[in-house]
Amino acid sequence: MSAECHIASLLIQCRPNALEALAATIGAEPGVEVPITHPTGTLIAMLESPDQGTIADLAHRFTGLAGVLSCNLVFHGIDGETGPPAPTADAGKANAEGVNDERA
């Protein structure tokens, strides 16, 4: 079982007169922080979630909020203890079946 943590940041452009209300609404979502706002109508939202679906859902919801002009994913990373991929039965074979490797 993996304990993944998806971290993302969104660049959100909005109408300047809606900035304060949108920052409060977006920042009130669980796992969301709004560390940066700019009076021209720009805000950065930092998201932390156990899965990427939640991040996609939030970005879609934010896009539909009144006053939002655009919402763009700037960064998405996965932090967690997923471990290395499990080896396959063919691990270690030099060539895939049917491939002629003439480097030798």
- Per-residue pLDDT of the chain (104 residues), as tens digits, is 457 899 999 999 999 999 999 999 999 999 999 999 999 999 999 999 999 999 999 999 999 999 999 999 999 999 876 555 556 655 555 555 555 555 55
SS3 content of the chain, % helix, strand, coil (to 5): 25, 40, 40
Could you tell me if 2 and 85 are in contact, meaning their C-beta atoms sit under 8 angstroms apart? no
Residue 32: other Cβ atoms inside 10 A? 19
pLDDT at 42: 97
pLDDT at 13: 98
CA distance 66 to 33: 19
pLDDT at 102: 58
pLDDT at 79: 86
CATH number at residue 70: 3.30.70.920
Residue 15, domain extent: 4-32+44-80
pLDDT at 94: 54
70 within domain boundaries? yes
Quote the pTM value. Answer: 0.73
76 within domain boundaries? yes
Q: Which residue is it, tokens 């030099």?
A: 94
* Count of structural domains within the chain: 1
